[in-house]
Structure formats: C-alpha cells, structure tokens
Structure 1
Amino acid sequence: MEIRQLLALGAAMLAMASAPAFAQDSKEPYVRVAEIEIDPAQLEAYKAAVKEQIEAAVRLEPGVLALYAVTDKENPARVLVFEMYAGVEAYRAHLETHHFKKYKDSTQDMVKSLKLRDTVPILLGVKPR
C-alpha cells in the first residue's frame, strides 16, 4: 500500500470515529499533510519525539481529530504526517501548546526539510466497526 493510500485510509477511519465532533461543529475540518525529511542518523530520536507529541496532542486537545505519522518504506528518513483538526482555530491552538513547542524545539536540528500541504477533504469516511 502506498503512503498516500495509507494516509487516505487513516483519514477515512478517523472521520467516522469523529463524526459527533463534526455534527456539533458546522466548520469544515482543517486537514494538512506534512512532508518531512529527517537526518537519518537522528531518525530514532525523531520518532520518539513525534510519538510523544502526537500522543499528547490527541489526549489533551479536543480540536485534534487525527494525527498520523508514517515513514516511507523505501526511505525511512522521509516522514509524512497526516493532520486533521476540527477547524483552523484548533490548528492554531495546537501550534501554541507546550507539547508542540517542545517537539519543534527538540527536533529542529533533526529536520532537513519540511513541506506543509494544505488539503481540501473530498470525503472522509470509514467502515463501521
């Protein structure tokens, strides 16, 4: 399965789980994909930092609907992060959290490049459990 397919599948699975949040909030979800190149020598430290940040964001921030980090199978130093927020305000609030700032500070020397792609959801769906 290609990374883009995996990201789409992840978004679809979370959308169903987050349906009540969408029903209560008339705003569109804010979805973006981060493409990150990591210094291969620091990959394990980066993985630990991103895992800590994602776990905190999902646990502490009601506006964070999904955060998925995956590595490219052929190039593990290429990391893709799928991000879905209740709205742009939730994304802006996320950027101001302690755990996000800690992640940015601790990984700044690990990241060789960062490309942020804003997206427009077509359909976010998942099969019922």
Structure 2
Amino acid sequence: MKHLFFLLTITMLTILTSKEARAQTDERMVRVAKIEVDPLQLTAYNAALKEQMTTAVKLEPGVLTYYAVANKKHPSHITILEIYADTAAYQLHIQTPHFKKYKATVQNMVKNLELIDVDVIGIAKKPGL
C-alpha cells in the first residue's frame, strides 16, 4: 500500500507541474481517498465510481483530476487522487446531483473510507513531462 501511495504522490506532483498548475498550486485542494469496498460488490462499485468521476470532470470546471487505482493484491482496496481548483470547487462538487447519486449508490458497498488532505512539498520530474 505504501508503494501505491508513493506512485499516486508522484503522479500528483507531475500533474501539478504544468504552467497553469504552478501558478495556482497554493489554491488547489489535493486529497487522497483510501477506500475499502465489499469484494462482492466491487464491479458495481467500480462502475459507479467511473460514472461519477467522468461526469464530474466533464461538467465541473473546478474538478481538475481524478486518478483511481486498485491494489493488485487486494483489488477491493482503492486509492483515489483528487485535485480540485480550490476548496470552494470541492464544496460545490459534493452538492452536485451526480456526486449525491454516487454516494447513495455506494453507501452499502464501502466498508471503510479515509480522506487525507495533502500539501505538495516538492516536485521532481523528467524533462518534457
């Protein structure tokens, strides 16, 4: 799991190195969500998650990025990297019909949820990325 968190952190840092992101990094809200899903409901959970993420990025200007990954050894352990333009964008996001639909759909699928707000403390990347 530490390896997965490290990979997500590297991915997040790469995303935040674009010209636009460097100008706004201090305002962005970056969060890691660690979710444990009932293994018997994993297919339905993944479908609901993908629908919510796709809709949010398409419809909400303040929802900038989602990366959702599953632990290879424990596929029901999912980690999501979320990047919002700012805290206000996140607050708007959680009031949208598509987010509320997602929460209602997965409420009995999620066994554990941990939300971790993170700060970018350093960036390193290959040239041209």
* TM-score, normalising length: structure 2: 0.87
Tell me which residue corresponds to 1:45: 44
Could you say which residue in structure 1 is the equivalent of 2:120? Answer: 121
2:100 corresponds to which residue? 101
Runs of 5+ consecutive residues of structure 2 not aligned to the other structure:
none
Would you say the 8 A contact 1:14–1:65 is kept in 2? no
Return closer, same or farther for 1:5/1:76 CA change in 2, 3 Å cut-off: same
Contact 2:28–2:86 under 8 Å retained in 1: yes
Query: Alignment partner of 1:121: what SS?
Result: coil
Distance in 1 (alpha carbons) for counterparts of 2:10 and 2:63: 17
Does the aligned pair in 1 maintain the 2:13–2:120 contact within 8 Å?
Answer: no
CA distance in 2, matches of 1:21, 1:31: 12
1:1-129 matches, cutoff 5 A:
2-17=3-18, 19-20=19-20, 23=23, 25=24, 27-123=26-122, 126-127=125-126, 128-129=128-129
Shift of 1:26: 7.7
Contact 1:31 1:84 in 2 (8 A): yes
Q: Deviations over 1:74-101 (max 9, x none)?
A: 1111111111111111110110111111
Q: Given that residues 37 and 113 in structure 1 are in contact (C-alpha distance below 8 angstroms), is that contact kept between their aligned partners in structure 2?
A: yes
| Deviates most, 92-101 or 1-10 | 1-10
Q: Is the alpha carbon distance of 1:99 and 1:88 closer, same or farther for their aligned partners in structure 2, counting shifts above 3 Å?
A: same
What do the CA deviations read for 1:28-49 (whole angstroms, capped 9, x no partner)?
2111111111000000110111
Identity value in percent: 45
Aligned CA-pair RMSD: 2.0
| Matched length | 127
DSSP 3-state at the match of 1:42: helix
TM-score (norm 1): 0.87
